[in-house]
Amino acid sequence: MAEVVHHDHSHHDHDHAHDHAHDHAHDHDHHDHDHSHHDHDHDHHDHDHSHHDHDHSHHDHDHSHHDHSHDHAEESPYQDQFLQGGNRLIAYDLLIANNKVSETTDPDVARYLEAKAEFQKGYNKCMEIPATLDDDTLEICRAKIIDAAETMVHAWLIDDKAAPMSERVLILGQQYEKVLLKDVPADQKDGFFIKESLLFSAWILLIGKQFAHCVTTLTLALDNYVDLPARIYFLRATCYLSLSQIKEGLADLQKAVSLDPAFALPYSVMGTIQTRSGERFNASKNFRTYIEKGHPDTADYSNALYALSVLTLGPSQKKTAESAEFFGRAKEAEARFEYLYGHIPALNEVKRNAIVAHEQPEVSAPFVAKWNAQMRLQQQQRLQAEKESRIERLIQSGILSKELPTEKTACAQCGAKQRKDDPAKALMVCSACKSVCYCSKDCQKVHYKAGHKRVCEEMRAINGVVVGKENGKKKN
């Protein structure tokens, strides 16, 4: 089984509070601390607490797409499709690539590697299970489904950065729910859950940026299971911050550190929020606590030092001996980080303000210009993210439909296991999205017109393929 390699350079994008919450801590130790809280159009309708049926139909999506010629079939094995950027390269993976793992004592590195190995184990088990919701198949594979799902949930609990979401894992979630509910009396199915199924649901909702629903799910888990780690409060805090519920987010961050005093990251996040709200004393206190408890080999460490170099400025923003010391330590920490990871932490507002305060104008001017350009780009990206939630559209489009008839080794239209024109050949795979197979061009065309067009375009969009330009026709 091929290894799941995470290729996401999110550690370069150190936008750490609102965006940190948006990315629900995909790379906690390498985020920038920008706690700007933009308004989001999240749906707050009442919803079913069963958390097994991931029905996102409460969101109204515009799926109007122009028809275009669809002849993408080719012979190739089924490949799973990873969502939200796919196979992400987490910063810790750079340590492996640079052969520097043994040169750091950062405990989060060991935690990530443990979680990554656990996720890979569960993912390998998942890929051995047919991707079908057929009752007979699910009964045969019941033990494997439960084992695979709960192994990956365990990995997510250890470190969510090590648990990417894919099409096949989403389907496993449906399979897991179905086998759990099989022996539950009909009058008890509504609202039925176990700890792992709640956490699987939260994982999906978090990836899908369903923050309000994720808060409800995590709250249900925390209310029913007292053995959950402090990280769950941190994850719920990121959801609250994404919903601009700052008071609730701060309360969960405080709860996380009260449960696990060694958990340093929440102090950094609290310091950033308090800096933005003008609470300089509390911000300084939390950043100093992070410096005491956090590890110096992280981007958060240099970020906290940069923050303190501004918070300790004197009247009229004049440099002091203490602020200059913090600024010098921040630059040293960045050099250490660059040695380990191959790059310095990306520019953020905290670092920009520190450079403006401590460097000469001719030195700081390029950083200010770069920061302004980053802000324009981030605003465009936020507007695009708010316009569409791709994972929601994927779910609503039918990838997770309970009527999913076949595994990906069968024709998506008729269920045939072999090519009609040549049974000796492998089934044709849709080359555009690589998520379905066909036994013939005829079945492909029928399936496309019957609804695959929408799913296909969504899968291609998720994987960064521009749609609507086939045959030289520009999409309106």
Whole-angstrom distance, CA of residue 16 vs CA of residue 23 = 9
- The SS3 of residue 75 is strand
> Could you report the per-residue pLDDT of 422-469, keeping only the tens digit for each?
888 888 888 776 667 888 999 888 888 777 776 666 555 544 444 333
Residue that wins the pLDDT comparison between 196 and 395: 196
Q: What is the pLDDT of residue 373?
A: 73
Buried b (16+ CB within 10 A) or exposed e, 401-435: eeebebbbebbbbbebeebeeeeeeebbbbebbbb
Most distant pair of Cα atoms in the chain: their distance: 82
- In degrees, rounded to 5, the angle at the alpha carbon of residue 231 between the alpha carbons of residues 117 and 49 is 100
Closest C-alpha among 223, 161, 225 to residue 196: 225
Number of other CB atoms surrounding residue 247 within 10 Å: 7
Identify the residue whose tokens are 């992400």. 88
- Pair type for strands 73-75 and 428-430: antiparallel
Lookup: tokens for 171: 């389907």
* DSSP code for 228: -
Give the type of residue at 343: H
Side-chain-facing half-sphere of 134: CA atoms under 13 Å: 14
Residues 434, 99 contacting (CB under 8 angstroms) = no
Number of other CB atoms surrounding residue 356 within 10 Å: 17
Q: What is the pLDDT of residue 42?
A: 37
Residue that wins the pLDDT comparison between 249 and 207: 249
Q: Is 464 left (phi over 0), alpha (psi -120 to 50) or beta?
A: left
Q: What share of the chain is helix, strand, coil (3-state, %, to 5)?
A: 60, 0, 40
Q: What is the pLDDT of residue 366?
A: 77
> Could you report the per-residue pLDDT of 398-412, keeping only the tens digit for each?
444 433 333 356 788
Q: Give the pLDDT band (50/70/90) at residue 385.
A: low
Residues 267, 286 contacting (CB under 8 angstroms) = yes
Give the type of residue at 318: K
Q: What is the pLDDT of residue 155?
A: 97
Question: What would the DSSP string read from start to end of 1-59?
Answer: ---------GGG----SHHHHHTTTTTGGG------------------TT-SS---TTS
> Could you report the per-residue pLDDT of 230-248, keeping only the tens digit for each?
999 999 999 999 999 999 9
Q: Give the pLDDT band (50/70/90) at residue 396.
A: low
Distance between alpha carbon 457 and the CA centroid of its chain, in Å?
Answer: 21
Give the type of residue at 94: L
What ranges make up the beta strands (E) of 106-243?
A: none
pLDDT of 122 over the 90 cut: yes
Lookup: tokens for 450: 């019957």
* DSSP code for 317: G
For residue 25, what are the contacts with CB-CB under 8 A and spacing of at least 6?
Answer: 31, 160, 161, 234, 235, 238, 265
Number of other CB atoms surrounding residue 461 within 10 Å: 17
Helix (H) / strand (E) element for 97: namely helix 91-97
> Could you report the per-residue pLDDT of 112-121, keeping only the tens digit for each?
999 999 999 9
Buried b (16+ CB within 10 A) or exposed e, 124-161: ebbbebbbbbeeebbeebbeebebbbbbbbbbbbbbbb
Question: Mean pLDDT score of the chain, rounded to an integer?
Answer: 77
Whole-angstrom distance, CA of residue 112 vs CA of residue 158 = 7
> Could you report the per-residue pLDDT of 259-293, keeping only the tens digit for each?
999 999 999 999 999 999 999 999 999 999 999 99
Q: What is the pLDDT of residue 452?
A: 74
